[in-house]
């Protein structure tokens, strides 16, 4: 059987997450992901994804302390980053930074402690590189803040409001894991060779440099701008005529509403003060869905997670160029969980290739 892109091919068994695209369901280890929002912190959900159960008070304290402890970058790592930052894009520098952390311990099976270090350090890496590229001073991690609050603090150099932190944390939780997507698959393929966690994560980040996996929220902002200048009808028809996608709508897996988008919409509506453009965003979603139903009947194209992720990050004041690096920080949890799972039940990936004669 030949399926381009392995579409529809089952390649692994996993206990980490389950996606039902037909009914719009995303579960983390048997729990609906959207039901975790407001009930559990990023730290608690991360522990759950990594270990398969929710931590008790003592376990959560220990796990949270480990994340805080490993937030900091060594002076040697910073010196090495200084050499990279002027010559690479933000996402490329983030990818290179992960390689710099590798001390060639090459543990097998993969060590969870190394994965926890990466979860803790990546927001610091993103903030450090971003601020250096902008000519801003480095902001050291704040040990009294949770994971999401500290990330925003390092990016902006000031404490953000509770509802802004909650909105980002919701986004981080809802995109922490999503099955065997391109980046997770890349990480598992590398791991299957009995390589290390740093190599696997570097490969995963590399997939996000491509616009088909990691760049969608930035495209949503561009679509918002274009629709505001003309009209939804005109913008959509022009894009479809040119063979362009309507960024933020439709999903390869979900054939109905994206459950993550619905949860993030609630968070977006909770942001206070309400952005001046909030009503336009809500109306844009409604008009776009209606327009797509007329132009592509039967396709069931609804707002996806990227639409409201972009809206939330814009509301917080996060620059477009940070969208993909932030997604890396979110998905790091899922990557590590899959890397651990692959290393514990390992079979090297070696699919066949269908030969097509050139003459």
Active site residue 62: no
SS3 track for the chain: CCCHHHCCCCCCCCCCEEEECCCCEEEECCEEHHHHCCCCCHHHHHHHHHHCCCCCHHHHHHHHHHHHHCCCCCHHHHHHHHHHHHHCCHHHHHHHHHHHHCCCCCCCCCCHHHHHHHHHHHHHHHHHHHHHHCCCCCCCCCCCCCHHHHHHHHHHCCCCCHHHHHHHHHHHHHCCCCCCCHHHHHHHHHHHCCCCHHHHHHHHHHHHCCCCCCCHHHHHHHHHHHHHHCCHHHHHHHHHHCCCCCCCECCCCCCCCCHHHHHHHHHHHHCCCCCCCHHHHHHHHHHHHHHHHHHCCCCCCCECHHHHHHHHHHHHCCCHHHHHHHHHHHHHHHHHHHHHHHHHCCCCCCCCCCCCCCC
70, 147, 178, 251: the active-site residue: 251
Contact 43, 60 (CB under 8 A): yes
Contact 170, 268 (CB under 8 A): no
43, 44, 306, 341: the active-site residue: 306
Contact 320, 214 (CB under 8 A): no
Neighbours of 210 (CB within 10 A): 12
Active site residue 251: yes
How far are the Cα atoms of 97, 154, 250 from residue 325, in angstroms, in the given order?
Answer: 12, 14, 22
The closest of 136, 132, 151 to 78, measured between CA atoms, is 132
The closest of 89, 68, 316 to 211, measured between CA atoms, is 89
- Residues annotated as catalytic (active site), given as ranges: 251, 306
């Amino acid at each position: 059987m030949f399926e381009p892109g392995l579409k529809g091919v089952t390649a692994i068994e996993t206990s980490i997450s389950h996606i039902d695209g037909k009914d719009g369901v995303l579960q983390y280890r048997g729990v609906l992901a959207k039901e975790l929002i407001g009930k559990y912190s990023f730290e608690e959900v991360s522990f759950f994804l990594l270990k398969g159960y929710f931590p008790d008070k003592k376990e959560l304290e220990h796990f949270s302390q480990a994340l805080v402890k490993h937030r900091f970058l060594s002076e040697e790592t910073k010196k090495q980053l200084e050499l990279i930052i002027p010559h690479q894009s933000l996402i490329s520098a983030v990818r290179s930074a992960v390689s710099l952390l590798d001390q060639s311990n090459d543990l097998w099976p993969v060590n969870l402690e190394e994965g926890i270090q990466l979860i803790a350090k990546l927001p610091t890496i993103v903030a450090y590189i971003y601020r250096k590229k902008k000519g801003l001073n480095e902001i050291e991690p704040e040990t009294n803040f949770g994971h999401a609050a500290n990330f925003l603090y390092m990016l902006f150099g000031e404490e953000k409001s509770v509802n802004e932190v909650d909105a980002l944390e919701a986004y981080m939780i809802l995109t922490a894991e999503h099955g065997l997507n391109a980046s997770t698959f890349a990480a598992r393929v590398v791991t299957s060779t009995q390589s290390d966690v740093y190599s696997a994560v570097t490969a995963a980040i590399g997939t996000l440099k491509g616009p088909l996996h990691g760049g969608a929220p930035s495209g949503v902002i561009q679509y918002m701008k274009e629709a505001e200048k003309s009209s939804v009808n005109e913008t959509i028809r022009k894009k479809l005529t040119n063979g362009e996608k309507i960024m933020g709508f439709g999903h390869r897996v979900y054939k109905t509403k994206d459950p993550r988008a619905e949860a993030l919409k609630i968070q977006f509506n909770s942001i206070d003060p309400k952005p001046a453009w909030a009503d336009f965003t809500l109306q844009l979603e409604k008009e776009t869905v209606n327009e797509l139903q007329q132009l592509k009947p039967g396709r069931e194209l609804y707002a996806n997670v990227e639409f409201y992720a972009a809206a939330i990050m814009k509301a917080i004041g996060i620059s477009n160029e940070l969208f993909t690096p932030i997604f890396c920080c979110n998905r790091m949890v899922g990557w590590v969980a899959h890397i651990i799972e692959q290393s514990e039940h390992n079979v090297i990936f070696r699919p066949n290739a269908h030969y097509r004669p050139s003459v």
